[in-house]
Amino acid sequence: MSDVEYPIKGACQCGGVTYELLAPPAMVVACHCRECQKLSTSAFSITAMVDADSIRFSGEMQEWSRPAESGNISAAKFCPCCGNRLYHFNPDEPEKIKLKPSTLSDTRIINPTAHVWVSEKQDWYQIPEGVKVFEKQP
């Protein structure tokens, strides 16, 4: 979005972890996998793909990880106080951050251009026309 000004501040629910997003994300994706449904307690989770050097975090975070279907590790950073997830990452690709953009103070950038793992999508949700769709992880 051209009217969004960077940096955009972000924070967890309690404010114990804060950050600044310095540049626009490469893309914003809606993931419909069962794990993201658990995470979001909704039909899908939104992720903004950003370069690690375009974001600055402050505050203590905890880490949790699980194996992904691909064999990679899906790791997450979250606030130890309120439990709010801030981002996911693959430890083998630390330069890529999968930011949870609903933690931003300005959420206008949340406009998914791709939907992934639609093979596990809730039947009642209709994907908007004009976005890329992937059965699993592209």
Residue 135 lies in a domain: no
Q: What percent of the chain has pLDDT over 90?
A: 82
Q: Which residue has the tokens 């626009």?
A: 24
Write the pLDDT tens digit of every residue in 42-85: 999 999 999 999 999 999 999 999 888 788 888 999 999 999 99
Strand ranges across the sheet with 18-21: 8-11, 18-21, 55-58
Report how far residue 18's alpha carbon sits from residue 28's, in angstroms, rounded to the nearest whole number: 20
Domain count across the chain: 1
Report how far residue 130's alpha carbon sits from residue 138's, in angstroms, rounded to the nearest whole number: 17
In which band, very low, low, confident or very high, does the pLDDT at 137 lie, cut at 50, 70 and 90?
confident
Tokens matching residue 95: 């330069």
Report how far residue 87's alpha carbon sits from residue 17's, in angstroms, rounded to the nearest whole number: 12
Residue 133 lies in a domain: no
CATH number at residue 113: 2.170.150.70
Rounded mean pLDDT of 89-115?
94
Residue 95 lies in a domain: yes
pLDDT score for 2: 60
Q: Which domain holds residue 86?
A: 8-121
Write the pLDDT tens digit of every residue in 32-53: 989 888 988 899 999 999 999 9
